[in-house]
Structure 1
């Protein structure tokens, strides 16, 4: 069993927590987590995928974000193989979509309450868990990209009802929200929300009111697309002159500067930067040690937010 007396700055494996200590669903976790969305790139080399996840744990990551629809369960299966009970890692999953092969988007909406329940069951099976510590409800009525249509347009109260029931049944430990508005978050607060995942980065800061609301309510803010959209033609943090200048001055990469800015910007931010490459993983974790002084932060804060983020995750 993991020690209950260890320093909050250390994981159960004894490694310093990547990026320092944060809070998620009532637990102390590394502020730099690992996002498993890219692991299916290693479908033909399962051992390499397992090695990436093991490397994350060795580097002090004890917060892993996944979903059944990442590679039709591939990411979940790799996590099940790579993470040991004694690692005391909190695994977070997401529901609200399902794979859609050959479509315009790689996913299709799965928003109906019975689909949310089925997705939780699928996650439990592929992860080999009796209870998922935290499950995020991915809404599809905000932003651009994949938007729910027809019978997939579901009232958030109906979705929260089934999520609450799953929590009461002990199948999930806590409820999070993904791709939601501040109004939807306020509406959901009585249910008890542990986490919000929205697209957000130095170049896409339309959600500043949400960041403040989460901090006020003790909710973890977990931005996806933390370096801007990876899609062609969309704004990228690493292209910003102020980011490049800071990287040159500090001997870091522009990506590390973008991640470090997020950690400095708000204390309740947790990162889930994803990769299928161990060297890239090492660099992401090293961003937690990048210190930004007042002048550098001011220069980065002055970077304008840019429209056009795509929210397909």
Structure 2
């Protein structure tokens, strides 16, 4: 795997895990609307194996994708895991049905059950990256953080991260454990969490954008398409390339259940963007 000469191709997570910056998000390998088993489980297994063949050594998942299905498929496809393949998973949400039929639960009791379940499904003795999927408004954050720190001390977790958090929440978590990653919504079209990205960059924390293409912003999407056409790449490839160029601490996890789309995403690492092109892309979100 390579990126353009201006951008590094790897990031050192937690000081000891060298990850290729183009990873894979395993939410889409489950059933329709992120619920249940996929209609064609073999296709999901093939996509996972192809991702690793293409150089992916970081796969992102969560216990509530399915629920549980994504982790089970990862283990079926890839266990025993290759050296240097990092499986990152998340806990703290409970799925009851399709799409957004989920609830927060970051109580120590649930997190213990979730973590032990992920270890069992992934066939691991220790999870390299475990992320709190959401801070639970019903549970004081320090209680959730204290449990995760304890689980790390027990050897169940190598590194800890967070998802959908503010700078202040990261700082609070840092009082309990070293935060090595933050997973927030972010894309060339959606810069709401720019201050979090900048804080993570200053602290050497990996920033893992979910929803890396954005959506529902038609005028901005049209502008992105125009730039992609000029570059002779797809809009998705251009959006991913912009993220790789935007900051060296960004790890990408685009998800797909299609091998052709997976290969297309991976080719985004070869796209070079000039300073002028970056300036044009930087201006998209504020131009509408």
Query: TM-score, with normalisation over the residues of structure 2?
Result: 0.90
Which residue in the other structure is 1:36 paired with?
A: 26
**Matches of 2:192 and 2:29 in 1, distance apart?**
29
Equivalent residue for 2:40? 45
Q: Which runs of 5+ in 2 are unaligned?
A: 3-7, 32-36
- Among 193, 197, 210, the residue aligned to 2:196: 210
1:101 aligns with 2:86: no
C-alpha deviations, 1:20-57, integer Å up to 9, x for none?
21222331111010000011136232111110000000
Q: Do residues 120 (structure 1) and 120 (structure 2) align?
A: no
Structure 1 segments of 4+ aligned residues over 4 angstroms from their partners = none
Tell me how far 1:155 sits from its aligned partner: 1.2
Q: SS of the residue aligned with 1:86?
A: coil
1:194 and 2:180 correspond: yes
2:155 to 163, 170, 189: 170
Distance in 2 of aligned mates of 1:61 and 1:193: 23
Instruction: Tell me the distance in 1 between the aligned counterparts of 2:75 and 2:13.
Output: 20
Q: 1:111 and 2:100 equivalent?
A: no
Equivalent position to 1:60, from 51, 55, 58: 55
Who is 1:15 aligned against? none
* Secondary structure of 2:82 counterpart: helix
SS in structure 1 at match of 2:110: helix
Structure 2 match to 1:21: 10
Question: TM-score of the superposition, structure 1-length normalised?
Answer: 0.83
Would you say 1:91 and 2:97 are equivalent positions? no
Kindly report the root-mean-square deviation, in angstroms, between the aligned alpha carbons of the 2 structures.
2.1
The structure-2 alpha-carbon separation of the partners of 1:65 and 1:305, relative to structure 1 and needing over 3 Å to count, comes to farther
Gaps of 5+ in 1: 1-8, 11-18, 142-147, 308-313
